[in-house]
Structure 1
Amino acid sequence: MQLNGPVLLYGAGREARSTRAYLSRQAPAAQVFVTVDSGAADIDDATQIAPDEADRLVARGALALIVKSPGVPLYKPFFAAAREAGIPVTSNLNLWGERYRAGRQVIAITGTKGKSTTATLTQLMLHHSGVDTGLAGNVGLAPLEIADKHPTIVFELSSYQTADIAFSPDLAGLTNLYPEHVDWHGSVERYYADKLNLFTRGPVELALGEQDGLLARIAADLGPVRALRPLAPAVDEVIVDTVAGSRLRGAHNLGNARLAARLAIAAGATLDGIVAGVGAFAPLPHRLEEHRIGGLVFVNDSIATTPEATKAALAAYRGYRIALIGGGHERQQDYAELATLLAPHGVTTLVCLPVTGARLAEATRSAAPHIEVIAAADLEEGMLTLGTLKNRFDAVILSPGAPSYNQFKNFEERGTRFVALASQIFG
């Protein structure tokens, strides 16, 4: 990277701070601006400017580089205008690729759900096999923070990052693919295309998670990919037994472990290392995170922002009488099928939160009239109501099937609040 002028950071989160630290090392004399669409931009040694000032800098061609944070939509007219003005637009991940990709084994994992668990398992399996491996992306470190610390890197990548990735991994895993983040991408079709951009940059060995018809059709159209070999039956049997005795709950997590094992074996893992990696896995926060309070089980699955993720959570708790908390930010989720699955999975009580909870409530009243449906204004009201109905359930599962942005800053804040309310009301 050769800088001959000012740099604009668009976004001010973890990756932007990592990028600023990288620029301080690589181009200490560069003038750095930062802009955000809302809130404050607290980046050391960077001058905060408003978006309209950033527009003026682009119009004058007064920037040498723009580094976009993942949460900022790639399809904003601002970035098209920058490219038309000859200003490169890049990312923390692509700066890593430019500076550190050569000579490293790169494993990239994406998908709608399960990618964090799969990436973490892959890194643990390799680590316990004696392979010097780091974890970066949405989990672990930001790409430029991991830099050149390990010869093998496992990246967990969101669709925001795969949309404009400029290099190819050696090995890649796709956990599953469902409609998600349509507001960022603009359409379901573009969301799929942006996910699959990870596999179109060059030759890559690919392993698919859920082998459904959609993924099979997609895989046939990906271009320069080669399928990783399936697990040998004896190896698969060991993984099934190991997962059964581990802290990985549900059939979907067995699928994640199988996918991780295929990637890890291709990268140099041993069977002993795979077993040890599964044993070392601790459930990630807000992903089927289990708490026992007041004789009940409380499951913080706030990461579940699609109906498909909620289905997986319910399947992991078969045999329980369940109070499910669902609903959140509107992304045009379809709850019709989920509503038909609630009763067969043991849901006796359903708390519906704004705004998508209204559609889930309507679908549930039609599909399963005997389920008690509670329309709550917010999470606290819903939990207080559940506190008066303790005899109806053994487990309370927060698996909303929708994002949190209408009432919380992010899913982490929503999950933390759920656990705190469980302690206050049921403890």
Structure 2
Amino acid sequence: MHKLVILGAGESGIGAALLGKKQGYEVFVSDGSAIKDLYKQELAVNHIPFEEGHHSWDVILGADEIVKSPGIPEKTELMKKVRERGVKVISEIELAWRCSKDASKVIAITGSNGKSTTTAMTHHIFKTAGLNAALVGNIGVSYAKQVATDPADYYIVEVSSFQLDDIVDFKPNVAILLNITPDHLDRYDYKMQNYVESKFRIAMNQTKEDYFIYCIDDPVIREHLAKKPIYSTTIPFSIMEQLKEGGFIANDQLNIQVNEEEPVIMSMYDLALKGKHNLYNSMAAGIAGRTMDIRKEKIRESLSTFSSLEHRMEYVATVRGVDFINDSKATNVNSVWFALESMERPVILIMGGVDKGNDYDAIRELVREKVKAIVCLGVDNRPIHEALSKDMEVMVNTDNMHDAVSQAFNLASKGDVVLLSPACASFDLFKNYEERGRSFKDEVRAL
């Protein structure tokens, strides 16, 4: 019997365990930390053995195959031993794809920024067209859990570089690569090229029948494609130039031209989501819909009715003429660049948290141009002060959300925007970016 060991009992690990069990594998789950009660119940109900707080080396190293949580770095003692023993390691998306590839189509979306928005928007297009599509991956239910419990005809999957690092045969019918900017470099030996190659793994098994949709305006993507061509049918999108095929802007209109069919054309001003970055996201999602023969009327309708995600440029409230926007999902500098770039009014910026070796140079110009004051929210705010104090006269330190929101409100005048866009991970003060965003919204509503 195939022995499958799952390392890590988070959302993806539990999904992999349920799917492995359904496939008739002998499944064992091992987590070096405590497992959440909810997940423990799920394992118990499904009679899946597990351990927490430690790893049983003999069981793990005796596996036929290991599904590794995307959060476990290769540097750990555990992974070094696994690699030495030569046990096959795959990611949860590999397992899910293997068990669903014959009965469904997969649209996989990656990029340093905009993945969640584009994934949700693509799902909205497929649902609007009446298709049986599931929204899975980093954004909600794990891909494996969906395959195990409620299979769909189409899987719209948000994938991270960490998940792509452990694929073997994973081959999406449509792959979208939105952009590549420095992020998580600590996991890639601080080498940008390693991170770039990790992102491009999304297309490594694709053939001519598959589509690779990419941003031709991104210099890192362009450079990599020039050096290492890929085998799928490529469809670019751009806001800088007009293209023969793909997505582009002309005369304030969004154009999507795929496979010599009649183009989808709609006014930029009819798009539900505003800002330059959302033009890219809308084009990528629209092209994905067209590759799967969704009618152009449905694509236009979807792109004009999509509502934005929680914690991603989410409008919270207006208090005495000051707008509050929750962009807690902005966990890197580039996300903050996109947020500031779309701002039309003066900004009080709340930022800070666990700094992943951020280079704040990218946002200095926008900070000078659009930000009135910065409220730092974190245990250690020094990196932000060192990087931006020359560009910003007013900088305030806080170490809890209540103070951050009230300080920002005091610094704002009528017509300003208070923007929570942290540029950092949240685990110094919060469990995750969702908790940080909800805390922000609670404090705003209490003003």
Normalised to the residue count of structure 2, the TM-score between the two structures is: 0.84
Select 1:351's aligned residue among 375, 385, 389: 375
* Distance change in 2, residues 1:194/1:311 (3 Å): same
- In the other structure, the counterpart of 1:219 is 225
- In the other structure, the counterpart of 1:205 is 211
Following superposition, the deviation at residue 245 of structure 1 comes to 3.4
What is the CA deviation profile of residues 332-390 of structure 1, one whole-angstrom value per residue up to 9, with x for unaligned ones? 11112312221312x11111233674233333331344xx1112233332223224334
Q: Counterparts of 1:118 and 1:271 in 2: how far apart (Å)?
A: 18
RMSD, matched Cα: 2.6
**Letter matched to residue 49 of structure 1:** E
Select 1:236's aligned residue among 238, 242, 255: 255
**Letter matched to residue 34 of structure 1:** S
Select 2:291's aligned residue among 248, 266, 274: 266
Select 2:426's aligned residue among 389, 404, 417: 404
- In the other structure, the counterpart of 1:149 is 151
- In the other structure, the counterpart of 1:310 is 336
Q: Counterparts of 1:4-23 in structure 2 under 5 Å? A: 5=3, 7-23=4-20
Q: Counterparts of 1:100-115 in structure 2 under 5 Å? A: 100-115=100-115
Equivalent residues of 1:57, 1:63 under 8 A apart: yes
- In the other structure, the counterpart of 1:374 is 396
Q: Counterparts of 1:246 and 1:132 in 2: how far apart (Å)?
A: 24
How many residue pairs were aligned? 415
Q: Counterparts of 2:379 and 2:255 in 1: how far apart (Å)?
A: 42
**Quick check: which one's strand share is greater?**
2
* Distance change in 2, residues 1:131/1:11 (3 Å): same
Secondary structure, counterpart of 1:375 in structure 2? strand
- In the other structure, the counterpart of 1:34 is 30
Q: Which has the higher contact order (CA 8 A, sep 6+)?
A: 1
Equivalent residues of 1:73, 1:185 under 8 A apart: no
- In the other structure, the counterpart of 2:260 is none
* Distance change in 2, residues 1:89/1:200 (3 Å): same
* Distance change in 2, residues 1:205/1:282 (3 Å): same
Following superposition, the deviation at residue 300 of structure 1 comes to 0.4
Matched, 1:361 2:385: yes
Following superposition, the deviation at residue 75 of structure 1 comes to 4.8
Equivalent residues of 2:247, 2:254 under 8 A apart: yes
The range that moved more, 86-95 or 39-48, is: 39-48
Q: Counterparts of 1:60-75 in structure 2 under 5 Å? A: 61-75=61-75
* Distance change in 2, residues 1:249/1:22 (3 Å): same
* Distance change in 2, residues 1:224/1:136 (3 Å): same
**Letter matched to residue 419 of structure 1:** K
Q: Counterparts of 1:47 and 1:243 in 2: how far apart (Å)?
A: 53
Q: Counterparts of 1:409 and 1:154 in 2: how far apart (Å)?
A: 26
Equivalent residues of 1:164, 1:194 under 8 A apart: no
Matched, 1:97 2:109: no
**Letter matched to residue 212 of structure 1:** D
Following superposition, the deviation at residue 9 of structure 1 comes to 2.1
> Percent of aligned pairs with the same residue?
25
Q: Counterparts of 1:205 and 1:160 in 2: how far apart (Å)?
A: 22
Q: Counterparts of 2:418 and 2:74 in 1: how far apart (Å)?
A: 38
What is the CA deviation profile of residues 19-54 of structure 1, one whole-angstrom value per residue up to 9, with x for unaligned ones? 2222332227x3523223466574323444356543
**Letter matched to residue 68 of structure 2:** K
**Letter matched to residue 30 of structure 2:** V
Equivalent residues of 1:163, 1:198 under 8 A apart: no
Normalised to the residue count of structure 1, the TM-score between the two structures is: 0.88
- In the other structure, the counterpart of 1:194 is 198
What is the CA deviation profile of residues 129-177 of structure 1, one whole-angstrom value per residue up to 9, with x for unaligned ones? 3444332212243212332733332211111211122211122111111
Q: Counterparts of 1:235 and 1:375 in 2: how far apart (Å)?
A: 42
Unpaired runs of 5+ residues, structure 2, are 236-244, 257-262
**Letter matched to residue 68 of structure 1:** K
Select 1:177's aligned residue among 170, 180, 183: 180
- In the other structure, the counterpart of 2:307 is 282
Select 1:163's aligned residue among 165, 180, 184: 165
The range that moved more, 210-219 or 220-229, is: 220-229
- In the other structure, the counterpart of 2:351 is 326
